[in-house]
Amino acid sequence: MLTVSLFTRLRPSRPLQFFVVLFFLFFSSCHALTAQQPPALPNGKSSFTVRLMNIEAATNETFRYNATLHNGSAKTVVYELTATMPDGWMVAYKVDGNRITSLNLDAAKSQDISIEINAAVNAKPGKYKIPVKAVSGTDTLLLEIEAVVKGSYGLELTTTTGRLSEEVTSGSHEEIHLVAKNSGTLVLNDIELSSQLPPKWECSFEPAKIQQLEPGKSVDIIARLNVPDKTIAGDYASTFTIRNANTNAQAAFRIIVKTSLLSGWIGILVILLAIGLVYYLIRKYGRR
């Protein structure tokens, strides 16, 4: 409507003004068409970066790195993730909690990747450099991370004799002598003890908690077991556990419950009384 009104207002005696307005309308239309077209994607530089490149942990802990992969090209690229690991080490790549080995990344997009590394059990303390690569058909992005192994956490739980079975009497209080040992190379703090027993059984420990245990050292523990009265004779499974924030250990016990001697004599006496009663009745009424 604007074009029609402008043409109707222009007179033929003013051709210069007519061409100026026509040029203005043509330029405006071209500019509008150009503005509607999406801009071309920049052909920038791709990158593979990590927020923390150096992490310290024990051998039985997981080294976790938060990396970001950026596709700076103008087209979708498939990246394959690889790493050169020491012997016995393992690596996993995760996106949104899912394990992956390759990634399809759109143009000019970035993706957060979690890199999880587990050291070998026999890894010695020290700094390990691990090169991680994101390889595509046209590019190889290198990311070098460091895993600092500070040692290992380890716990062992056994008995002074090495036996994992015990005989107890129904209704009795028994003591089981346990040994907790720090089998790792790092100090263990705040070690707690617990037990998993049959219903209504009770157990207490002395000491109830171990404040600190040096590498290679052991602590004697007494587990005081309370077996309820009238517990049926038989085999029962019990488990003793020691743990702290870094590691734990268990000892599975076979508890053999026997009836008390007094209960046995009472049973024998009841049987004898029953036999005597039957004999008396036979003697008294048997001839009638």
Residue 147 makes CB contacts below 8 A (sequence gap 6+) with 55, 57, 63, 117, 119, 127, 128, 130
**Confidence label for 5 from pLDDT (cuts 50, 70 and 90):** very low
Residue 288 makes CB contacts below 8 A (sequence gap 6+) with none
Token pair recorded at residue 213: 């245990």
Mean per-residue pLDDT, 58-74: 95
User: Could you give the C-alpha distances from 19 to 8, 10, 23, 33, 255, in angstroms and in order?
Assistant: 14, 10, 6, 21, 108
**Could you tell me if 115 and 178 lie in one domain?**
no
Residue 170 included in any domain: yes
The domain that holds 111 is classified in CATH as: 2.60.40.10
**Could you tell me if 55 and 142 lie in one domain?**
yes
**Could you tell me if 100 and 176 lie in one domain?**
no
Q: Is the pLDDT of residue 121 over 50?
A: yes
pLDDT at 34: 41
Mean per-residue pLDDT, 53-58: 96
Residue 198 included in any domain: yes
pTM of the predicted model as reported, rounded to 2 decimal places: 0.66
**Could you tell me if 143 and 193 lie in one domain?**
no
Looking at the structure of the chain, the number of domains it has is: 2
Percent of residues, the chain, with pLDDT higher than 90: 65
Residue 62 included in any domain: yes
Q: H/E element holding 274?
A: helix 261-285
**Could you tell me if 141 and 162 lie in one domain?**
no
In tens, the pLDDT along 227-264 reads 998 888 889 999 999 999 999 999 999 999 987 654 55
Residue 15 included in any domain: no
Residue 26 included in any domain: no
pLDDT at 166: 87
Q: Looking at 149, 167, 201, which one is the last position of a domain?
A: 149
Q: Which of 59, 67, 50 is nearest to 118 (CA)?
A: 59
**Could you tell me if 114 and 98 lie in one domain?**
yes
Mean per-residue pLDDT, 87-112: 96
Residue, of 222 and 232, whose pLDDT is higher:
222
**Could you tell me if 141 and 175 lie in one domain?**
no
Residue 202 makes CB contacts below 8 A (sequence gap 6+) with 225, 226
CB-based contact 193:224 (threshold 8 Å): no
Q: What are phi and psi of 160, to 5 degrees?
A: -65, -25
Residue 9 included in any domain: no
Q: Report the 3 state secondary structure along 195-207.
A: EECCCCCEEEEEC
pLDDT at 16: 53
pLDDT at 178: 96
Q: Is the pLDDT of residue 39 over 80?
A: no
**Could you tell me if 120 and 139 lie in one domain?**
yes
Token pair recorded at residue 134: 């994101």
The one-letter amino acid code at 119 reads A
Domain membership of residue 240 as a residue range: 155-259
Residue 12 included in any domain: no
User: Could you give the C-alpha distances from 210 to 3, 148, 178, in angstroms and in order?
Assistant: 91, 28, 13
Q: Report the 3 state secondary structure along 153-167.
A: CCEEEEECCCCCEEE
**Could you tell me if 170 and 245 lie in one domain?**
yes
Q: For 52-57, which contacts have Cβ atoms below 8 Å and span 24 or more sequence positions?
A: 53/144, 53/145, 53/146, 54/145, 54/146, 54/148, 55/145, 55/146, 55/147, 55/148, 56/148, 56/149, 56/150, 57/119, 57/147, 57/148, 57/149, 57/150
pLDDT at 258: 86
Q: Which of 82, 43, 85 is nearest to 63 (CA)?
A: 85
Residue 245 included in any domain: yes
How far is Cα 206 from Cα 285, in angstroms, rounded to an integer?
64
Paired residues of 148 in beta bridges: 56, 127
**Could you tell me if 68 and 129 lie in one domain?**
yes
